[in-house]
Structure 1
């Protein structure tokens, strides 16, 4: 298993997880591999730090109605026989978002990730509310978030107090043990602040908007200009998608890095816990309200309103909490409807099969 450790194999040797052992035992001729690239036409996997190879996927994964979150994603561990994937191994974590559009779908961003670097530029890209959205998706998926503020050199050049102001706006997140690091993504000495999360065997994913500096950070960590970088618009500090697909890259430190294209829309899936999005303090306040069904408006004994009036709770942050709460609830309702429809279709299918068997006999 030593070659697999180079690409993040989570065990020192054979898996000590019962579900993994069972899945591997079901395919005794297969070998473990990790998905390192995902394209519309298929996947590329690696069995170590060497060259990745393209493989075929299971036929059912290509069906239009197959749930996309159940297909492999970059970071997934699979079993391969010959040049084809035969099984997807259980995930230890998964970062997902709600797909764009009216119909409920989930989009898997990365799997089996230990840490997510939430990359945000200290320019017009800086947005505490968007950072909270990322934290909600990352933490709810089972990964540790680290907020990485890039372009510290430009920020200080433009305004000496810009970094302190940004840190102050994220003080509520820092109070909830969310690590925050401000760096110059082009300077290896500055990027060394991230080394504690880049130890051998660890897997880190970069998430953030286009132009935040993800590809620049990747190049610095690699020590080579491997990823294409681009300029950002002065009006809003947004960049073009220099990264066009997700890929997993072994780093010299022994860690693995997953680079992702910039994401403009961050919809919840309905499976999130708001406390995981950096709102544990607001959730705790709500539990102190006099009435359990308090709507935090004009009810007497409302701890949330008291904190707002006392200046202990940021009104903008609270408004975003309410917005995310409604979005999560709406997505949860859609998810419940989808699961109910699926269960109902399964019951109807069984009933239809029974009627056919009763009429024509079993074949």
Structure 2
């Protein structure tokens, strides 16, 4: 029998009366008296694994529309609207073996990216997250611009924290190398984005993340392959649960040792979602670039002309800041690049919505199929 304490241990937000603190979730439970809550802890091609406590997980069936490809002519649900790791669902069934998902509860927060390919599609990375740990190694793969891209995608309710791993390897473990890496991210600190440098293999060093891993909270690890996410997970767990591998010496990039997303309860009482490394980070068009580049936006407001393109216009505060060394030119270039990508993705998203609306409008008045003879002009 599921207990409120067991659910709370995997992130279920409880009010004092033992019911969920979210009023929408309360209403959903009231409308389905035979249903009980569970959380998606693994997502596979063939189905889902859910948990109703930190030590009790089991496979469940899902609604048929969640199993079909997202084809608007034939029905089906878009990938971002299907359950994902971190989601809370309602399940029905007398036993875990015969349980099935009957409803997806509204998400409090979510992390998404645009899927690879020409056609616009969104891919949900994780749902109902309190903290996003953006993990980057302080080795040859250290890249402040990539960290900025990750931060752009993870905004939206969850608190971002940049975790710099491999402090024991940076510059041979020298304190100056760590200081240099932190200095390269000084703009993030100025925007109140916490930055922590840790040795992912050392539990005492990793304890610097405990303030974001309190009981009932959920965190997700995102970052490139080889950044140390699985090593960090193992250290937080206190056991070698996640597979790890060595990175290439040539570029410090790793292989995909984590092949699927999984939600794991931690000894601190928090939950952690480890994700596969992402080589392509495309915006969805819903991101707020200004929120991640407040320093650039503040400078732009000081330009003489409101429509300043920050090129050769007189009185440009942005160019003045770059020339005086107060603004990193590479950060500004990344701001322009990401702004263009978000705008292009927003256009694609609008086109997709319009196409979806057109297809939906055509269904009710669909013309009857022609007989073979009519198709070739014969009557």
| C-alpha distance in 2 between matches for 1:100 and 1:283 | 30
Judge conservation of contact 2:198–2:205 (CA < 8 Å) in 1: yes
* Residue 2 in structure 1 maps to residue 13 in structure 2: no
2:106 matched to which residue of 1?
90
Structure 1 range deviating more: 155-164 or 325-334: 155-164
| C-alpha distance in 2 between matches for 1:346 and 1:189 | 56
Secondary structure (helix, strand or coil) at the match of 1:163 reads: helix
Gaps of 5+ in 2: 71-76, 94-98, 369-379
Gaps of 5+ in 1: 357-363
| C-alpha distance in 2 between matches for 1:133 and 1:269 | 12
Secondary structure (helix, strand or coil) at the match of 2:80 reads: helix
Structure 1 range deviating more: 22-31 or 146-155: 22-31
* Residue 330 in structure 1 maps to residue 344 in structure 2: yes
1:169 matched to which residue of 2?
184
By how many angstroms is 1:158 displaced? 5.7
| C-alpha distance in 2 between matches for 1:345 and 1:303 | 48
Secondary structure (helix, strand or coil) at the match of 1:32 reads: strand
| C-alpha distance in 1 between matches for 2:189 and 2:50 | 37
Select 1:131's aligned residue among 147, 150, 154.
Answer: 147
* Residue 209 in structure 1 maps to residue 209 in structure 2: no
Superposed counterparts of 1:305-320, under 5 Å: 305-320=319-334
| C-alpha distance in 2 between matches for 1:267 and 1:249 | 27
1:34 matched to which residue of 2?
39
2:117 matched to which residue of 1?
101
Judge conservation of contact 2:167–2:173 (CA < 8 Å) in 1: no
By how many angstroms is 1:238 displaced? 1.1
Judge conservation of contact 2:13–2:22 (CA < 8 Å) in 1: no
Q: Root-mean-square deviation (CA), in Å?
A: 1.5
By how many angstroms is 1:21 displaced? 2.1
Residues 160 and 201 from structure 1, CA distance in 2 versus in 1: closer, same or farther, beyond 3 angstroms? closer
| C-alpha distance in 1 between matches for 2:34 and 2:69 | 29
Superposed counterparts of 1:263-342, under 5 Å: 263-277=278-292, 279-342=293-356
Secondary structure (helix, strand or coil) at the match of 1:196 reads: helix
Secondary structure (helix, strand or coil) at the match of 1:57 reads: coil
Structure 1 range deviating more: 295-304 or 261-270: 295-304
Judge conservation of contact 1:115–1:143 (CA < 8 Å) in 2: yes
By how many angstroms is 1:159 displaced? 4.9
* Residue 257 in structure 1 maps to residue 281 in structure 2: no
Q: TM-score, normalised by structure 1?
A: 0.94
By how many angstroms is 1:156 displaced? 4.4
Residues 232 and 284 from structure 1, CA distance in 2 versus in 1: closer, same or farther, beyond 3 angstroms? same
Structure 1 range deviating more: 155-164 or 130-139: 155-164
Secondary structure (helix, strand or coil) at the match of 1:118 reads: strand
Secondary structure (helix, strand or coil) at the match of 1:135 reads: helix
1:73 matched to which residue of 2?
84
Judge conservation of contact 2:216–2:270 (CA < 8 Å) in 1: yes
By how many angstroms is 1:74 displaced? 0.5
Judge conservation of contact 1:135–1:276 (CA < 8 Å) in 2: no
By how many angstroms is 1:286 displaced? 1.7
| C-alpha distance in 2 between matches for 1:293 and 1:260 | 41
| C-alpha distance in 1 between matches for 2:81 and 2:347 | 20
| C-alpha distance in 2 between matches for 1:274 and 1:94 | 17
Select 1:116's aligned residue among 123, 128, 132.
Answer: 132
By how many angstroms is 1:299 displaced? 2.3
| C-alpha distance in 2 between matches for 1:269 and 1:142 | 16
Secondary structure (helix, strand or coil) at the match of 1:161 reads: helix
By how many angstroms is 1:303 displaced? 2.0
Secondary structure (helix, strand or coil) at the match of 1:47 reads: strand
By how many angstroms is 1:19 displaced? 1.9
| C-alpha distance in 1 between matches for 2:174 and 2:213 | 31
1:241 matched to which residue of 2?
256
1:11 matched to which residue of 2?
14
| C-alpha distance in 2 between matches for 1:155 and 1:90 | 42
Judge conservation of contact 2:13–2:21 (CA < 8 Å) in 1: no
| C-alpha distance in 2 between matches for 1:152 and 1:305 | 34
* Residue 24 in structure 1 maps to residue 29 in structure 2: yes
By how many angstroms is 1:240 displaced? 1.3
